[in-house]
Amino acid sequence: MMTELSHVHDCLGWAHFFKGQLEHLLLALLLAPGTLCLVMPLTTGQRIGPMTDREAAALLVAVVVAHQVTVWLVWRLQLCFGLLSRLLGKADLVVWGVIFFPFLAARVGLLAGVGLSDYGALGLPRSLEIGLGVLLLLLAAYTLYSVLRHFGLVRAMGGDHFRERYLDMDLVRDGIFRYSEDAMYTFGFAGLWALALLLGSRMALILALFQHAYIWVHLYCTERPDLEVLYQDRQGAE
């Protein structure tokens, strides 16, 4: 089965598949080991369910990297070759959602586990931690509401790589998107900061910073080059 974006695939190939990924690799090699160097001295060996805090922190870093590498692979295989649509037909987006969202859940769950193992170690006044945490949590909640209300989950996970109709939608300027077209990345990850602050955790705060920094690597190395191709193609067709 051919995807609706077959006219885009005809113009792309391996050159676009790897576009931005050398930078992605170099930044990942900087951010992931750097984060572990900061976090590992803070671990105590405390158990978090079946693993220690050290193992959970390392697993979280690995999950974040695996998630963003998976997004690159799926988006580029779909954009350049229409692979998921060819293999799965109309089930392509459903299968992609089954892969995509558990990664997000794991990132939050592991961060919470690490934060609980390091509870109260941040050392800021507790009222300040809670106050800032609540404010950031409200910001993240409003961002999530805006995504659900105005943007849509399918579009958020890369629906425009799969279906022509997402390319025909207007740029969202409602809700949190009034303040930034990259609101999901700018404000959405405030929820991770909020979790770390509410738990008063040093390790969780470092891991939240890592996740927030790495999503911008994804934006500039993977998503922006794809959007330039997708929307330039639409404008040319008009």
Per-residue model confidence as pLDDT tens for the chain (238 residues): 445 665 555 567 888 999 999 999 999 999 999 999 999 999 999 998 899 999 999 999 999 999 999 999 999 999 999 999 999 999 999 999 999 999 999 999 999 999 999 999 999 999 999 999 999 999 999 999 999 999 999 999 999 999 988 888 888 899 999 999 899 999 999 999 999 999 999 999 999 999 999 999 999 999 999 999 988 755 444 4
Whether pTM > 0.85 for this model: the answer is yes
If you write DSSP's letter for every residue of the chain in order, what string do you get? Answer: ---TTHHHHTT--HHHHTTTHHHHHHHHHHHHHHHHHHHGGG----EETTEEHHHHHHHHHHHHHHHHHHHHHHHHHHHHH-HHHHHHGGGHHHHHHHHHHHHHHHHHHHHHHHHHHTTT-S-S-HHHHHHHHHHHHHHHHHHHHHIIIII-HHHHTTGGGT-HHHHTSPPP-SGGGGT-TTHHHHTTTHHHHHHHHHHT-HHHHHHHHHHHHHHHHHIIIIIHHHHHHHHHHHHHH-
